[in-house]
Structure 1
Amino acid sequence: MTALRYDVLGIGNAIVDVIAKAEDDFLVKQGMNKGGMALIDEQRAQAIYDAMGPATESSGGSAANTIVGCASFGARTAFVGKVKDDELGGAFAHDIRAANVAFATAPASEGPSTARCYILVTPDGERTMNTYLGAAQDLHPNDIDADAVASSSIVYLEGYLWDPPKAKEAFLKAADIAHKAGRKVALTLSDSFCVGRYRDEFLKLIRDKTVDILFANESELLSLYETSDFDTAAKALQMESRLSVVTRSEKGCAVVQGDKIELVPAAKIDRLVDATGAGDLFAAGFLVGHARGKDNVTAAKLGAIAAAEVIQHVGARPAVSLKDLAGQAGLPI
Structure 2
Amino acid sequence: MATVDLFAIGNALIDQEFKVSDDFLTLQNLQKGTMQLTDGETQSQLFSKLKETQIYKGQASGGSAANTTVAFSALGGKAFYGCRVGNDDLGALYLQGLNDAGIQTSTQSISQGVTGTCMVLVSPDSERTMHTYLGITAELSNTEIDFSSLQTAQWLYIEGYLSTSDTARQAVKQARQIARDNDVKIALTLSDPAMVQYARAGLDEMLDDGVDLLFCNEQEALMYTQTDSIEDALDKLKSLSKTIVITLSANGALIAHHDEIFTVPGRRVVAVDTNGAGDAFAGAFLYALNAGKDLQTAAKLAILISSEVVSKFGPRLENTEYATLLNSFQLETA
Same fold flag (TM > 0.5) = yes
AA partner of residue 70 (structure 1): F
What's the secondary structure of 2:17's corresponding residue? Answer: strand
What is the CA deviation profile of residues 57-79 of structure 1, one whole-angstrom value per residue up to 9, with x for unaligned ones?
Answer: 11110000000000110111111
**Aligned position for 1:294:** 293
C-alpha displacement of 1:54: 3.7
Structure 1 residues 46 and 207: CA distance shift in structure 2, 3 A? closer
Q: Which sections of structure 1, spanning at least 5 residues, go unmatched?
A: none
Q: Which sections of structure 2, spanning at least 5 residues, go unmatched?
A: none
In 2, the alpha carbon distance for the partners of 1:188 and 1:314 equals 23
Moved >6 Å (runs of 4+): none
In 1, the alpha carbon distance for the partners of 2:2 and 2:305 equals 25
In 2, the alpha carbon distance for the partners of 1:19 and 1:204 equals 32
Contact 2:15 2:63 in 1 (8 A): yes
Contact 1:16 1:88 in 2 (8 A): yes
Q: 2:91 aligns with which of 71, 89, 92?
A: 89
**Aligned position for 2:116:** 115
**Aligned position for 1:279:** 278
AA partner of residue 39 (structure 1): L
Question: Which residues of 2 match residues 50-199 of structure 1 at below 5 A?
Answer: 50-52=48-50, 53-55=54-56, 56-111=58-113, 113-199=114-200
In 1, the alpha carbon distance for the partners of 2:86 and 2:241 equals 40
In 2, the alpha carbon distance for the partners of 1:102 and 1:173 equals 20
Structure 1 residues 204 and 41: CA distance shift in structure 2, 3 A? closer
In 1, the alpha carbon distance for the partners of 2:207 and 2:88 equals 37
Greater helix content: 2
AA partner of residue 138 (structure 2): Q
C-alpha displacement of 1:203: 4.2
**Aligned position for 1:245:** 245
C-alpha displacement of 1:199: 2.7
Contact 2:108 2:146 in 1 (8 A): no
C-alpha displacement of 1:171: 1.0
Structure 1 residues 83 and 205: CA distance shift in structure 2, 3 A? closer
In 1, the alpha carbon distance for the partners of 2:48 and 2:101 equals 31
Contact 1:85 1:107 in 2 (8 A): no
Q: Please, what TM-score do these two structures have when normalized by structure 1?
A: 0.93
What's the secondary structure of 2:188's corresponding residue? Answer: strand
Contact 2:227 2:233 in 1 (8 A): yes
C-alpha displacement of 1:329: 1.9
What's the secondary structure of 2:234's corresponding residue? Answer: helix
What's the secondary structure of 1:301's corresponding residue? Answer: helix
Contact 2:108 2:145 in 1 (8 A): no
Aligned pairs, number = 328
AA partner of residue 86 (structure 2): K
**Aligned position for 1:220:** 220
Compare 115-124 and 100-109 and name the one that shifted more. Answer: 100-109
C-alpha displacement of 1:245: 0.5
Structure 1 residues 78 and 241: CA distance shift in structure 2, 3 A? closer
C-alpha displacement of 1:314: 0.8
Give identity over the alignment, percent: 35
Contact 1:64 1:79 in 2 (8 A): yes
Contact 1:114 1:133 in 2 (8 A): yes
AA partner of residue 282 (structure 2): A
Contact 1:251 1:266 in 2 (8 A): yes
AA partner of residue 3 (structure 2): R
What's the secondary structure of 1:6's corresponding residue? Answer: coil
Contact 1:239 1:258 in 2 (8 A): no
In 1, the alpha carbon distance for the partners of 2:263 and 2:111 equals 48
**Aligned position for 1:29:** 27
**Aligned position for 1:42:** 40
What's the secondary structure of 1:329's corresponding residue? Answer: helix
CA RMSD of aligned residues (A): 1.9
Structure 1 residues 184 and 109: CA distance shift in structure 2, 3 A? closer
Contact 2:213 2:241 in 1 (8 A): no
What is the CA deviation profile of residues 137-159 of structure 1, one whole-angstrom value per residue up to 9, with x for unaligned ones?
Answer: 12111223232111210010101
AA partner of residue 16 (structure 1): I
